[in-house]
Amino acid sequence: MDNLTPSQRSERMRLVRSSDTKPEVLLRRLVWSLGYRYRKNRSDLIGNPDLAFISRKRAIFLHGCFWHRHQCPAGTRKPKSRIDFWATKFERNVRRDAAVMKQLKSAGWRALVIWECQLTNTSRVERRVQRFLDA
């Protein structure tokens, strides 16, 4: 049972940012410090990637573990209310993510997914990004 009224829940959900989140800013700073230049949140590209490297035809997506259902503690956590609604929403997110990756690949792009929980080890993320962009 939700302990918030519908208007309180709506207000709370409005606070969930879709861009310029702390993890996104951290990832962008990391990539910029490595010397790579990018465009952010390109709506003209398939899937609206968080970072797009146009000349390299590379895209990086930073997925929140909870929203995109990563296999980590945050991603496997389940809401306690409106279970059917959330199950459907999460399933749609996962299906959409897979479809975006497939469409990008068929358009000649390569994509990398960085999970929010992986940003705790920035040196590992740096190595992954460098390998991905230099390949």
pLDDT tens-digit map of 53-92: 999 999 999 999 999 999 999 889 998 888 999 999 999 9
Strand ranges across the sheet with 51-53: 39-40, 51-53, 58-63, 110-115
* Beta carbons of 100 and 60 less than 8 angstroms apart: no
Each domain of the chain, given as residue ranges in start order, spans: 36-126
DSSP 123: H
**DSSP alpha helices (H): ranges in 1-119?**
6-14, 22-33, 65-68, 73-76, 83-106
- Give the CATH number of domain 36-126: 3.40.960.10
What is the reported pTM? 0.86
Say if residue 14's pLDDT is above 80.
yes
* Beta carbons of 128 and 112 less than 8 angstroms apart: yes
